[in-house]
Amino acid sequence: MLLINCPYCGVAAEETELHAGGEAHLKRFGPDSSDDDFTGYLFHRENPKGVHFERWRHVNGCGKWFHAARCTNTLEVFGTYSAQTTEPPKDLLDTLRAKRPGFKWRNIA
């Protein structure tokens, strides 16, 4: 069972209380962008075996969206944080670098 702490209400929620929202920190491209950028925004997603940054919603709780750093291989959750950010917080990245030396996700290493 996957347990993820909601950063807003502090509850350690089971995955049945949550809804997965896909990849976090997507860069949006509008109608004035190139076809390649817009296609990438719509369809291309990371699918790593390892650390991944994801969006989750605490559906059966506070209802808010948040981000989580999770390993897709071991299901270890490294931390959660507000969805109102454009990149993961520094303390979470420091934790990831300590636990998973050499991890890389997009341009974050």
Tell me which residues touch Zn ion (CB under 5 A): 6, 8-9, 58, 61-62
Q: Nearer Cβ to Zn ion, position 9 or 20? A: 9
Q: Nearer Cβ to Zn ion, position 60 or 73? A: 60
- 66 contacts 80 by C-beta, under 8 angstroms: yes
Per DSSP, what are the bridge partners of residue 70? 52, 77
Nearest distance from residue 101's CB to Zn ion, in Å?
A: 32
Nearest distance from residue 96's CB to Zn ion, in Å?
A: 23
Q: Nearer Cβ to Zn ion, position 66 or 105? A: 66
- 57 contacts 92 by C-beta, under 8 angstroms: no
Query: 3-5 and 12-14: which strand pairing?
Result: antiparallel
CA angle 74, 65, 68 (to 5 degrees): 25
Nearest distance from residue 19's CB to Zn ion, in Å?
A: 12
